Amino acid sequence: MRLYRTLLLTACALAAATPALAARPADQVRLAWLDRPRDQDRAFRATQEGRAMPLPMIERRVIPRMGGADYLGPELRGRNLRMKFMDNGKVIWVDVDPRTGRILGRSGD
């Protein structure tokens, strides 16, 4: 009888704790992270609001200045745009100001 009562109380305690376990702080942190605007969302809004140039316009300015290096694509780096190129087996990153299209720096040459 005691074992039965202990098992019953344990089952009731677990059933009562289930909603509390479902809303643990880690889930709340994860959900808050999902609600934050992502870099691409911020970049899209900046382009729509005229605070940043569209990517194709930036590419038309920068790619010709890269001396025939293969363009691999863009990455968002905070408020800047990083364009990735490959030239003779070496990766070159070009940091660009998305508001002006101006090259801020190069690395990997």
Task: Give the CA count within 13 Å in the CB-facing half-sphere of 85.
Answer: 21
Q: Would you state the structure tokens that stand for residue 105, as one six-digit string?
A: 């720096």
Q: What are phi and psi of 89, to 5 degrees?
A: 80, 0
pLDDT for 80 beyond 80: yes
Task: Give the pLDDT band of residue 8 (cuts 50, 70, 90).
Answer: low
User: Which whole number is the average pLDDT over 43-52?
Assistant: 84
**What's the pLDDT at 19?**
59
**What's the pLDDT at 43?**
80
Q: Which amino acid is at 86?
A: M
Task: Give the pLDDT band of residue 48 (cuts 50, 70, 90).
Answer: confident
| pTM for this prediction | 0.61
Q: Provide Rg for the chain, Cα atoms.
A: 26
